[in-house]
């Protein structure tokens, strides 16, 4: 689902020179750098804690166009750390990408925001990011990060890896052909028990550190200060004060992605259902078909509690909640059993 940019919020009468005057005074930006920021188009994958923070920072810095993509909606537990959202967004269950677009419009109507309420998959990644100069990671899973890495290397497009969990923040700049890619540092995705915000919790200072590091590296790239960009995998534990860096300045010899140009994640090889971070949920994204919310509401009312807005429908039945989006994608809450989630989808939404 693609939503309109911020055309519905008229620009107030103000001087851009006044708005960005303190930033222009910084020697690394100046007037020329500010003009580059105005002309830039940055894509951000994920509008949760890291994505909301980095989107806000770049919009306030004057980046001209942002493309935001997120498959999820705002919940009360998000408000502890996701800085673009308000209680009203959680009460309404507004999709995060759209909530972020609306909030950005209220503090910088000159930034054009394209909001995509969708799951980033091999089938839509090229179309969504076709015009972006730079892609920023703000996801909650390595499956999507490896997809981003495949896409960026294939398209020779820079991207920045960033993440936060517990009190730990990590970032890495990836410039295809010049630095290591994600597969150079981590040839295989993590296996076994992986920490999530559901199991380890998360501190919002760790999130904001990751977002700030990512945002400043993005600004360096946009204004042309490429020699100032970090060439390491940087990590910091804000609670223990431990900092570490791993050299990422050169591609790894024989890397299957940037060396041998094999892109299995872009080809969709072995793509599973995704269990969402921070909730007992499974996402169903196999059924791409338009949904008539009014008709679905009529059918489901006899089986549970239904409420909807223009972008999603929620169906509560017992311990399970199914949130259905316009394109037929659904989040089944109350289980991590993929089979059960698929069964509930099939039973109440249809296959």
Last residue of a domain, one of 200, 222, 247: 247
Cβ contacts of residue 128 below 8 Å, gap of 6+?
43, 67, 69, 116, 118, 120
- Let me know whether 307 and 238 are in one domain: no
220 in any annotated domain:
yes
**Euclidean distance between CA atoms 69 and 311, whole angstroms:** 14
For 221-275, how does the pLDDT look when each residue is reduced to its tens digit (9 = 90+)? 999 999 999 999 999 999 999 999 999 999 999 999 999 999 999 998 766 666 6
What's the number of domains the chain is made of?
Answer: 2
Residues 165, 27: one domain?
A: yes
Q: Is the pLDDT of residue 12 over 50?
A: no
Residues 235 and 315 in one domain: no
Question: Do 103 and 17 share a structural domain?
Answer: yes
The predicted-structure confidence for 82-93, as pLDDT tens digits, reads as follows: 899 999 999 988
Report yes or no on 128 lying in a domain.
Answer: yes
With a cut of 80, say whether residue 77 has pLDDT above it: yes
In a domain? residue 252: no
> Domain for residue 271, yes or no?
no
Bridge pairing between strands 41-45 and 320-325: unpaired
Do 290 and 194 lie in one domain? The reply is: no
Give yes or no for residue 163 having a pLDDT over 70: yes
What does 213-224 look like in DSSP terms, one character per residue?
HHHHHHHHHHHT
pLDDT at 11: 45
**Does residue 21 sit in the same domain as residue 163?**
yes
On average, the pLDDT of the chain sits at: 89
Residues 108, 184, single domain; the answer is yes
Residues 160 and 231 in one domain: yes
Query: CA separation (Å) from 146 to 27, 150, 167, 263, 265?
Result: 36, 6, 23, 9, 6
pLDDT of the residue at 5: 59
Pair (325, 203) in one structural domain: no
Q: Are 139 and 43 in contact (CB under 8 A)?
A: no
The predicted pLDDT at position 9 comes to 45
Decide if 175 is inside a domain: yes
Asked if 79 and 201 sit in the same domain, the reply is yes
Above 90 in pLDDT, residue 2? no
Q: In sequence order, what are the residues at sequence separation of 6 or more whose Cβ sits closer than 8 angstroms to the Cβ of residue 211?
A: 49, 50, 53, 54, 57, 138, 162
- CATH code, domain carrying 148: 3.40.50.720
Is the per-residue pLDDT at 10 higher than 50? no
73, part of any domain: yes
In this structure, what CATH number is given to the domain that contains residue 340? 3.30.310
Whether residue 85 sits in one domain with residue 198: yes
Domain boundary among 197, 222, 247: 247
Is 259 part of a structural domain of the chain? no
Residue 199 and residue 157 in one domain:
yes
Question: In the predicted model, is pLDDT for residue 30 greater than 90?
Answer: yes
Mind listing the pLDDT tens digit for each residue in 122-151?
Answer: 999 999 999 999 999 999 888 899 999 999
255 occurs within a structural domain: no
Residue 142: count of CB within 10 angstroms of its CB: 18
Q: Give the model confidence (pLDDT) of 177-225 as tens digits.
A: 999 999 999 998 876 546 667 667 889 999 999 999 999 999 999 999 9
Q: What is the average per-residue pLDDT within 32-55?
A: 96
Q: Which pTM does this prediction carry?
A: 0.83
pLDDT digits (tens, 9 = 90+) for 278-327: 678 888 876 567 888 999 999 899 899 999 998 999 999 999 999 999 88
Q: Name the residue range of residue 338's domain.
A: 280-348
């Amino acid at each position: 689902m693609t939503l309109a940019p911020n055309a519905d919020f008229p620009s107030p009468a103000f001087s851009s020179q006044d708005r960005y005057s303190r930033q222009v005074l910084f020697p690394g930006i100046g007037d020329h750098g500010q003009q580059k920021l105005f002309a830039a188009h940055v894509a951000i994958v994920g509008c949760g804690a890291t994505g909301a923070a980095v989107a806000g920072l770049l919009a306030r810095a004057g980046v001209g166009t942002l493309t935001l993509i997120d498959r999820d909606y705002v919940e009360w537990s998000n408000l502890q750390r996701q800085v673009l959202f308000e209680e009203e967004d959680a009460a309404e269950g507004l999709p995060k990408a759209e909530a972020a677009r609306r909030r950005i419009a209220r503090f910088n109507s000159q930034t054009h925001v394209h909001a995509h309420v969708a799951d980033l998959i091999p089938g839509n990644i090229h179309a969504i990011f076709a015009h972006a100069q730079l892609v920023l990671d703000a996801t909650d899973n390595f499956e999507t990060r490896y997809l981003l890495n495949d896409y960026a290397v294939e398209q020779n497009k820079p991207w920045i890896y960033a993440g936060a969990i517990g009190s730990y923040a990590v970032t890495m700049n990836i410039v295809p052909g010049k630095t290591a890619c994600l597969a150079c540092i981590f040839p295989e995705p993590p296996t076994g028990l992986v920490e999530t915000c559901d199991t380890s919790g998360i501190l919002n200072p760790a999130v904001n550190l990751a977002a700030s590091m990512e945002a400043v590296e993005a600004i360096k790239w946009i204004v042309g200060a490429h020699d100032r960009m970090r060439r390491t995998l940087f990590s910091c534990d804000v609670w223990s004060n431990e900092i570490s860096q791993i050299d990422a300045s050169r591609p790894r010899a024989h890397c299957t992605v940037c060396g041998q140009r094999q892109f299995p994640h872009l080809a969709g090889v072995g793509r599973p259902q995704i269990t969402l971070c921070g909730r007992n949920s499974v996402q169903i994204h196999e059924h791409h078909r338009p949904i008539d919310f009014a008709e679905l509401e009529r059918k489901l009312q006899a089986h549970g509690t239904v409420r909807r807005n223009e972008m999603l429908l929620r169906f509560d039945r017992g311990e399970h909640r199914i949130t259905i989006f316009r394109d037929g994608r659904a989040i089944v809450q109350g289980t991590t059993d993929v089979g059960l989630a698929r069964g509930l989808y099939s039973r109440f939404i249809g296959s």
